[in-house]
Chains A and B, each alone.
Chain A
């Protein structure tokens, strides 16, 4: 039969993570506010989606930005760091960033980390 080691070389990289529910977002604008609703799980694996989301926020002319967490099921420390980077970027453009509608374990994490000290939070 032969040993399996030589067959291991040259394997393609993992294309799709299993168990991963990548963060998705929907953008809408109304009443002078840019609203972004996040869905799924927000983790370190979502850095590309986050960068795209940040770009759309910073390129928008609207000064008030609200991140709606009602569709988020899970958030990790890497995502919290990304949100703080968003805060800094918004502050440089004098945009007002806020979070709202977190629930379940996402809300528990934000409360445990006292995240409202860093980003305005409404629920």
Chain B
């Protein structure tokens, strides 16, 4: 089921509405009479309704966060079939920046998959967090964090704030997904930036103060690779119960 959390115009309560295919191809929503069914395949949630309570209440394969930059095309893109995954979050750049997305994703993954235990641990959390940070700041916002002093650091974070407020950058999405492949769990993080050609880490990067995000992504993983011109990072771990 494809569903959309919205506010009942009569009661004001947050309710689930089913998204139905409209006659002109534009999805329509229909309020569901019962709140007993908390499961759905795809759940759209407005930015201000994305709370820990919503995440713990609903079960879904794919969560799509709707912010002020979300367009009809964004909706249609989210409805496109994707590779099968255990869980997927499709969020805006501001959402990826301001929430502790890796932790939330892993908590949801553990909550929804009884066969996966002890998912929320440092082995997955930090690499996934670094991948999401890279996708958001370097990918979607197209910012390089090569600052060397307090002044340039301050300018960098001001640029981050400016780009998060610029629809041209802020409307870009970050998609986080997890899939099981045998005894491996793979996380993928996709951005909508320009991509990069980086495939491996060089020795120089290990001795410089910056660029440690990639090292922390790969540190505990079985493999780290980049697809889609560098816009998708895939981190695989051997999963042990």
Contacts and interface: CB of A to CB of B under 8 A. Distances in A.
Contact of A18 (B31, B50, B137): B50
B71 interface: yes
Interface string A1-26: 11111011111111001111100000
Nearest to A113: B212
Interface in B110-155: 122, 125-126, 129-130, 133, 137, 145, 147-150, 153-154
Contacts of B55: 18
Contacts of B149: 85, 88-89
A81 B145 contact: yes
Nearest to B156: A47
Interface stretch (A37-45, A62-70, A95-103): A37-45
A88 B71 CA distance: 45
Nearest to B104: A19
B100 A21 contact: yes
Interface string B37-57: 000000010111011100100
Contact of B68 (A11, A54, A104, A108): A11
B28 interface: yes
Interface stretch (B90-98, B179-187, B230-238): B90-98
A54 B213 CA distance: 22
A55 to B, nearest CB: 9
A19 B28 contact: no
B21 interface: no
B100 A4 contact: no
B72 interface: yes
A91 B188 CA distance: 40
A7 B46 contact: yes
Interface in A38-94: 41, 43-45, 47-48, 51, 54, 74, 76-78, 80-82, 84-85, 88-89
A78 B52 CA distance: 25
B98 A1 contact: no
A4 B6 contact: yes
Contacts of A7: 6, 46
Interface of A: 1-5, 7-14, 17-21, 41, 43-45, 47-48, 51, 54, 74, 76-78, 80-82, 84-85, 88-89, 104-105, 108-109, 112-113, 118
Q: Which 7 A-B pairs have the closest CB atoms?
A: A19-B100, A105-B122, A77-B213, A84-B209, A77-B212, A17-B98, A47-B157
